[in-house]
Structure 1
């Protein structure tokens, strides 16, 4: 039958007998087995002739191309996600710069007005809305191509339990878990992986408004390499619900950007999940066996380490300390201005520059005049100019004791995760609040005292 129309195809034997030539069936042809299994096929037919060239029979050749088509569809889906991801990353970065000015100015206004002013509650509401927008840009950055996970070696069990409990609390949906006792550790970004689990379970919750059951199982898996996967040791996570299930047509588009079956929704949730798992070197698939609900299966490469890496914690500064002389580099005027206002609010002296070479020249001149900067805050990337990633090396060459703090709207950039490897003393994600900036600056200045 034709896969798209569901109508029976012309009998290939009749076509060969009628035309007397070699024929091939059209694309989208499938065979349906007695048990209902659907097999995509590519086939051809040719006449069998006797010595007098009369047709005595027909030979048909059928090739199962189900896996080939599935691989091609996955490749197309990945390319589509990458294209939209590049766009999403650029939008999120630019939006974060705008938010830095909005959120920073609102935060400054609240601090300067005091709690008794009538306008403050309005500013607080605006601040809350801006923070929600900040959360949306973080989702876009996670989805974007190039957003690298900040990995730690952890046990996935606790993350799954906490995520499921958070989403299902008060829903009337029960949750069963089945974890293998000696479950292998994984190298993951706990925040991103929690987002994946929460998104999948949230979909299950919304599919069962009248209540139901979610079952989560985890086991160790060792598979040989194949065309579908690289093979090796992995941790398999299976999340199953007893909802209405998924139509085959829905499963095909489930991880496509902006595809949704909900009246309200962005259609980004499962696309982001797919992107996160891919960046962790894993796979995410969905299925819906006849008569059952949706089944999501995650495969994550097992860690080679056998020790859990604890999350790094930075202590809060003891005090603000005396004012420091700080050089700020950012090409966005609205961002650099609000950063200057914040730092001056904290009692520091601030000099602004727009790109890396200007920052290097300014730092060199300050050293020659005996007015050395106590701290430099640099934007990671400068379109059309030298960004902080390159400029920090030149400044450290001028002054090996220079303290340079990196700031960026790309929170998932590898430099932000491993800033010390690139010569920075700390990192701060834009948009930031006054307190976040105060803590980051003081932690950096404390390094100078040490």
Structure 2
């Protein structure tokens, strides 16, 4: 065997490979001389060795073979070669043996034959044509393999259609979307032939994409609103070399999970914005309630002899107290209420609500419990949790006007690979509250946590119950889920992160400190004149000397000029805030006690060693806190 190879180091483009087979060495030398400038040339005079070369060299593009050779004729050699190689084959023959040529055409799949002695130009053209056919066939095979791999392994439904809408190629996912038994059952048929009238919209979109000649993308939703699925459909017109649209590619991607995630994120953003709004409203409302409740408390002793007027003022005070309870719910929803969280036994909290639930739900509602014996503890404010469970049970009662069952259950759940942005992976104790009521329509299910949104009649609901529950579980590191359908009731799931700490006992109620044994001067700082006047009036009634200023800057001027024993200041004031004032006082007069009063406790900002009193406050709470701060140290 001889092998002639010509390498051009300056030309990195790979050259085609030719195998020449002839039992005459002179012929092989002539073929090598003829082609070595354009191709890599392999030569052999033995057919058996040629087969070994073909098996070892998968990149052979063209085989040139003599017909009459000892041991194996050319047509037989090329037939054997066809079984192991896709190389193009040309038969060389010095005899007018038409039967051999026909055999080579039929068995060996030759692309042509050349007679000996050959015309060099004719032989070059024949080899060049064979080489180009082989290269194009390989490129086509590669593209087909890539297309088949794309169709078979893509997660999308993919199809190729002609301009009449007939399927030319499609994958199994597209066939499944068409409810067809197989891919083959769709080939050559239109979507309308498979789906009937249900395909009208899709076929209209196909025609529009073909007419426009531009790619188009739409999102299509199918199914009922409560269980809707979404597909992103992309249509890409495919043009021929002349620029005419001849085919259409259709790609459908299921984006249901993405849409659900986007909806959850939008809802989370919406709830955060509503929480910010609720916190601001609650702060302003607490200032108003402080002035109202304080004024009523100061005025009540003055009308003690007038029973009718006293009753009216007590009614006003009770209404204002209900308003204060509403603001606490708002602040819990807006994450601005400082929860008194501790590690608790959730089953114990639920069992301790027997009397409360019995009084609140009435005789037409049966309460059932199924509590897990090995329930994990959770860190949460037990008082707020009781209020949350009570709210949910009352909602269940209201959804069952003819009576029914409210079922409370608990379980442990480990969350893995969560797609809910509000529910991180981890261990959770889950409280489920289920009713057998009317259920919640899907069109309003996504709004039930919005503050002030209620489906109850006027005067029957504030729309803050579920908002408070949402705020509580969010602040506790968990989330809330609702499963509901019209006619089959509602189940609310509270997910609370598992606590690894031991369950804490309920703190004992602190005894009120004794009043200060001495008269003291107190500076009251608040930008709201009504709140400032009420606070100062309370202090004056306790026997203290009080002075009022409207700002932090005015307070510093007064403190520099006079001696005071205590400063009581509002937290949220324009310019210098109450916290800024407290820090300035601590620097200049470190021994001067300071009490911050606020309509919402921003625990993240206020250092733990600052004394804080929440608005609205009764006079007794203010008296206790002031006496404590003025009491001798030690």
- Output the TM-score relative to the length of structure 1: 0.84
Write out per-residue CA displacement over residues 119-152 of structure 1, whole angstroms, 9 at most, x where no aligned residue.
3222222211221222222222223354453422
Partner residue, 1:236:
430
Partner residue, 1:184:
376
Specify which of 405, 413, 416 is matched with residue 221 of structure 1. Answer: 413
Separation in structure 1 between the aligned mates of residue 569 and residue 514 of structure 2, nearest angstrom: 24
Specify which of 504, 519, 522 is matched with residue 326 of structure 1. Answer: 522
After superposing the two structures, state which structure 1 stretch, 385-394 or 159-168, moved more.
159-168
Question: Larger Cα Rg: Structure 1 or Structure 2?
Answer: 2
User: Given that residues 236 and 298 in structure 1 are in contact (C-alpha distance below 8 angstroms), is that contact kept between their aligned partners in structure 2?
Assistant: yes
Separation in structure 2 between the aligned mates of residue 171 and residue 64 of structure 1, nearest angstrom: 49
Write out per-residue CA displacement over residues 264-290 of structure 1, whole angstroms, 9 at most, x where no aligned residue.
333333233223322322111111268
Deviation, structure 1 residue 327: 1.6
Specify which of 136, 141, 164 is matched with residue 331 of structure 2. Answer: 141
Write out per-residue CA displacement over residues 57-95 of structure 1, whole angstroms, 9 at most, x where no aligned residue.
876543222221122112222222222322222222122
Specify which of 439, 449, 458 is matched with residue 255 of structure 1. Answer: 449
Separation in structure 2 between the aligned mates of residue 9 and residue 175 of structure 1, nearest angstrom: 51
After superposing the two structures, state which structure 1 stretch, 56-65 or 218-227, moved more.
56-65
Deviation, structure 1 residue 185: 1.9
Q: Does 1:131 align with 2:325?
A: no
Residues 90 and 291 (structure 1), Cα distance of their counterparts in 2 relative to 1, 3 Å cut: closer
Specify which of 74, 87, 102 is matched with residue 292 of structure 2. Answer: 102
Partner residue, 1:414:
603
Partner residue, 2:614:
429
Specify which of 333, 336, 341 is matched with residue 151 of structure 1. Answer: 341
Aligned length: 430
Within 5 Å, which residues of 2 pair with 1:74-85? 74-85=264-275
Partner residue, 1:357:
553
Q: Does 1:277 align with 2:473?
A: yes
Separation in structure 2 between the aligned mates of residue 105 and residue 230 of structure 1, nearest angstrom: 47
Partner residue, 1:399:
589
Partner residue, 1:338:
534
Separation in structure 2 between the aligned mates of residue 93 and residue 40 of structure 1, nearest angstrom: 42
Separation in structure 2 between the aligned mates of residue 180 and residue 217 of structure 1, nearest angstrom: 8
Specify which of 109, 113, 122 is matched with residue 312 of structure 2. Answer: 122
Deviation, structure 1 residue 173: 1.1
Q: Which runs of 5+ in 2 are unaligned?
A: 1-176, 178-196
Residues 286 and 8 (structure 1), Cα distance of their counterparts in 2 relative to 1, 3 Å cut: farther
Deviation, structure 1 residue 344: 1.0
Separation in structure 2 between the aligned mates of residue 438 and residue 83 of structure 1, nearest angstrom: 37
User: Given that residues 148 and 279 in structure 1 are in contact (C-alpha distance below 8 angstroms), is that contact kept between their aligned partners in structure 2?
Assistant: no
Q: Does 1:30 align with 2:222?
A: yes
Separation in structure 2 between the aligned mates of residue 360 and residue 329 of structure 1, nearest angstrom: 10
C-alpha RMSD of matched pairs (Å): 3.2
Within 5 Å, which residues of 2 pair with 1:45-124? 45=235, 60-114=250-304, 119-124=309-314
- Output the TM-score relative to the length of structure 2: 0.61
Residues 42 and 311 (structure 1), Cα distance of their counterparts in 2 relative to 1, 3 Å cut: farther
Residues 47 and 388 (structure 1), Cα distance of their counterparts in 2 relative to 1, 3 Å cut: closer
Higher relative contact order (CA 8 A, sep 6+): 1
Deviation, structure 1 residue 98: 1.9
Separation in structure 1 between the aligned mates of residue 609 and residue 560 of structure 2, nearest angstrom: 18
Q: Does 1:377 align with 2:573?
A: no
